[in-house]
Amino acid sequence: MSAQGFLLLAAALFATGLYGALSQQSIVMLMMGLELMINGVLVAAGASWYYFAPARADGQVLVLVAITVMALEMAMGFAVTIAVFRARDVDMTEGASELGG
C-alpha cells in the first residue's frame, strides 16, 4: 500500500471508464463510464490527501466535491436522456446528433 499503488488504481479505473465512455452506444452506459472515471478521481484525491498533504483538508474537500458532482451528473444525465427519449425515442448516442455540424 503506497501512493503509487493508489495512483495506479486511479489510473486503471479512469482508463476503464474512458474506454466505456468512448465506446458505448447507449447513453446510459456512457454515463456509467463517466461515473467510473470520477471513481478514479476519488481514489487519486483521497490518496493525495493521505500521502502528500494530510495536514490540510484540501484533498478531502476535493473528494467531497467529486462525489457531489457525480451525483449531479447522474441526475442531469438521466433527466436529459429521458427528455430526449420522450421527445424522439432515441436512447443511442448516434440518434442524438442534432447539434452535429
Partner 1 sequence: MIAGIAFWALAALAVAGGVAVFVVDSMARATFALLVSFLAVGLTFLLIDLQYLGVLVILMMIMEMCVMAVFMIMFMMNPGGLMPMTMVHNPRGAALIAAVVFVSLAAGALAVPPPPRRGAPPADPARALGLSIMGDKMLVMMIIGVAILATMIASVVLAVHGGRYAAGRSRSR
The footprint of partner 1 on residues 17-36 (CB under 8 A) is: 17-20, 22-29, 32-33, 35-36
Fill in the amino acid letter for 46: G
- Kindly state the smallest distance separating residue 42's Cβ from partner 1, in Å: 6
- Kindly state the smallest distance separating residue 16's Cβ from partner 1, in Å: 4
Q: Does 97 bind partner 1 (CB under 8 A)?
A: no
Q: The dihedral of CA 40, 45, 50, 51: what is its sign?
A: positive
* Choice between 55 and 100, CB closer to partner 1: 55
Q: Does 63 bind partner 1 (CB under 8 A)?
A: yes
Q: Does 50 bind partner 1 (CB under 8 A)?
A: yes
Q: Does 83 bind partner 1 (CB under 8 A)?
A: yes
CA proximity to 13, closest of 32, 46, 41: 41
- Kindly state the smallest distance separating residue 83's Cβ from partner 1, in Å: 4
At residue 42, the 3 state secondary structure works out as helix
Residue where the block lists cell 465512455: 21
CB 53 within 8 A of CB 59: yes
